[in-house]
């Protein structure tokens, strides 16, 4: 069970290894806080959809499974969407259309089809936690790189906390704005993926 | 906003792939050859326009009157999935020529977040039917443009000397970053902002 969890984080990492869930990974990671918020939403959906599908795996008919998976996943996505709109409205506005779009994150449907439809509930929950955490870590790293270079601060939360000053005032006033614009997202993930490949090759 | 400005905005300034980050999976998945890129782009234009029309009517005339807005995610994804299935069967039986050109891309489109994303964006921006259709077609054209451009570049990258760690996806991301940088130049064009 511990292995299932660890595999989810590294060996089956959604973004770096499988290159899935790229849209939210690039779109919302203008700050570390947004990255964590998106990651949490995905963890919730993954864990609960994995649990429910695994509990129902003997009842769901084989040739109807995909539409049923989609309905289950979109139910949990709707729950997350409305909960975030109610309790963290600024975050919900920042993530925008990407919260309801968790439905079409092929990683979640992929886990339903490839893992939880064939494994007992406790393993499926562990798998959901591992995959979700692996995704969150990458989003957090992307957000960290882009926020520090693009704004000079780290872990800022709009309206609550201005963030840690990383390079001092002078940098903040003339930061690399490119990094929080769309090209910066592509650049950050390219370098992160390259670094990951490099570490894997020289291990 | 006039329809022409809407077209320029969705096609270039807010390009759906490079600026809004929607539809990245097919953008990197089927962009190694120009022919497949064109096939995928055409399928997206077709499905995006149809799904926009259907979801617009569903939202206006069923979900709003019956106070079922909270069901929009479930309803939209099911509508898109069944539309794609239906189109696949319809082409296979009625228009085999089109099926052989677009058929293999159709199943991939269900999980293309650009289709669902455009349906949501239409609602969030409160577009009327005509604006929605123009927005869908110009977004899909923008997708086709970005896909064909990167496919052309990736065909040439195949023979280029690239560091081992950056081979494959990472170098494509760097290519996309440079393309996005170029598209960033369109912001401010005709007074349109990002």
A122-166 tens-digit pLDDT: 999 999 999 999 999 999 999 999 999 998 889 889 888 888 888
B70: which chain A residues are within 8 Å (Cβ-Cβ)?
78, 82
- Tell me the pLDDT of chain A averaged across its residues: 91
Query: Structural domain of residue B167, as residue ranges?
Result: 16-183
Top-confidence residue, A115 or A20: A115
The DSSP secondary-structure symbol of B156 reads H
Q: Is B81 within the bounds of a domain?
A: yes
Short-list A28, A139, A15, A137, CA closest to B170: A15
Query: What is the per-residue pLDDT for B87?
Result: 85
* Structural domain includes residue B7: no
pLDDT band at A21 (very low <50, low <70, confident <90, very high): confident
Q: Which two tokens stand for residue A94?
A: 């920042």
Q: Residues A140, A112: contact at Cβ < 8 Å? A: no
Task: Please determine, for residue A29, whether its predicted confidence score (pLDDT) is greater than 90.
Answer: yes
CA-to-CA dists, residue A96 to A89, A128, A182, B93, B125, angstroms? 10, 24, 16, 40, 12
Query: Distance between CA atoms of A94 and A40, rounded to whole angstroms?
Result: 15
- The ipTM (two decimal places) reads 0.89
Structure-token pair, residue A167:
């390079």
Q: Are B107 and B25 in contact (CB under 8 A)?
A: no
Q: Residue A92's pLDDT is what?
A: 93
In a domain, B11, yes or no: no
Residues 6+ apart with CB under 8 A from B155: B32, B33, B34
**How crowded is residue A60: how many other Cβ atoms within 10 Å of its Cβ?**
14
- DSSP string covering A63-107: GGHHHHHHHHHHHHHHHHHHHHHHH-HHHHHHHGGGTGGGGG-HH
pLDDT at B174: 95
Q: Does B170 reside within a domain? A: yes
Tokens representing B144 are 């086709």
- Token pair of B137, please? 């077609």
Task: Give the Cα separation of A180 and A191 in Å (integer).
Answer: 15
Strand partners, A26: none
**Which of A43, A55, A33 is CA-nearest to residue A5?**
A43
Residue A74 — very low, low, confident or very high, per pLDDT cuts 50/70/90?
very high
pLDDT at B96: 85
Q: Which residues of chain B are modeled with pLDDT < 70?
A: 1, 191, 193-194
> How far does the CA of residue A79 sit from the closest CA of chain B (Å)?
9
Q: How far is Cα of residue A156 from the mean position of the Cα atoms in its chain?
A: 19
In the prediction, which pLDDT does B1 show? 63
| A164 SS3 class | strand
d(CA A155, CA A70) in angstroms, rounded, equals: 34
d(CA A159, CA B144): 39
Residue of B17, B21, B107 to mutate, testing the A interface (most A Cβ within 10 Å of its Cβ): B21
Percent helix / strand / coil, chain A, rounded to 5: 75, 5, 25
Give the best residue of B20, B22, B24, B123 to mutate against chain A (max A CB count within 10 A): B24
Distance from C-alpha of B174 to C-alpha of A74, rounded to nearest angstrom: 33
Q: Does B71 touch chain A (CB under 8 A)?
A: yes
* Residue B165 touches partner A, C-beta closer than 8 Å: yes
Of A23, A183, A28, A43, which is closest to residue B113 (Cα–Cα)?
A: A23
Q: Is residue B91 part of a domain?
A: yes
| Domains held by chain B: number | 1
Contact A100 B70 (CB under 8 A): no
Could you count the other beta carbons within 10 Å of the beta carbon of residue B182? 12
Whole-angstrom CA distances from B105 to B2, B16, B26, B90, B99 are 33, 19, 10, 15, 10
Smallest CA–CA distance, residue B69 to chain A, in Å, is 11
Mind listing the pLDDT tens digit for each residue in A42-55?
999 999 999 999 99
- Are the C-beta atoms of residues A158 and A37 closer than 8 Å to each other? no
- In angstroms, what is the C-alpha Rg of chain B? 18
Is A61 in a helix, a strand, or coil? coil
């Amino acid at each position: 069970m511990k292995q299932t969890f660890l595999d989810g984080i590294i060996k089956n990492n959604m973004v770096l290894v499988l290159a899935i869930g790229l849209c939210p990974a690039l779109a919302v990671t203008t700050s570390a806080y947004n990255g964590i918020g998106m990651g949490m939403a995905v963890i919730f959906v993954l864990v609960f959809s994995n649990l429910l599908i695994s509990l129902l795996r003997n009842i769901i008919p084989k040739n109807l499974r995909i539409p049923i998976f989609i309905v289950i996943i979109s139910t949990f996505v709707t729950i997350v969407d409305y909960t975030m709109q109610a309790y963290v409205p600024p975050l919900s506005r920042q993530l925008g259309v990407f919260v309801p779009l968790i439905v079409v994150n092929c990683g979640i449907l992929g886990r339903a089809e490839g893992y939880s439809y064939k494994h007992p509930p406790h393993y499926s929950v562990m798998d959901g936690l591992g995959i979700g955490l692996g995704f969150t870590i990458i989003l957090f790293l992307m957000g960290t790189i882009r926020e520090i270079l693009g704004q000079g601060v780290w872990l800022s939360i709009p309206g609550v906390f201005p963030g840690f000053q990383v390079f001092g005032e002078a940098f903040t006033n003339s930061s690399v704005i490119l990094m929080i614009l769309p090209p910066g997202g592509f650049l950050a993930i390219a370098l992160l993926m390259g670094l990951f490949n490099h570490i894997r090759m020289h291990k | 906003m006039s329809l022409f400005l809407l077209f320029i905005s969705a096609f270039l300034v807010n390009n759906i792939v490079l600026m809004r980050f929607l539809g990245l999976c097919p953008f990197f998945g089927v962009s190694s050859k120009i022919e497949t890129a064109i096939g995928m782009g055409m399928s997206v234009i077709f499905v995006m326009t149809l799904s926009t029309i259907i979801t617009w009517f569903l939202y206006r005339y069923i979900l709003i009157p019956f106070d079922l807005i909270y069901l929009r995610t479930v309803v939209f994804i099911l509508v898109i999935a069944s539309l794609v299935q239906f189109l696949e069967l319809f082409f296979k039986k009625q228009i085999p020529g089109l099926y052989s050109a677009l058929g293999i891309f159709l199943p991939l489109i269900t999980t293309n977040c650009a289709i669902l994303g455009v349906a949501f964006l239409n609602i969030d921006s409160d577009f009327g039917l005509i604006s929605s259709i123009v927005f869908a077609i110009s977004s899909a054209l923008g997708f086709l443009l970005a896909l064909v451009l990167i496919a052309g570049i990736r065909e040439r990258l195949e023979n280029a000397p690239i560091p081992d760690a950056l081979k494959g996806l990472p170098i494509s991301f760097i290519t996309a970053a440079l393309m996005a940088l170029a598209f960033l130049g369109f912001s401010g064009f005709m007074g349109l902002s990002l």
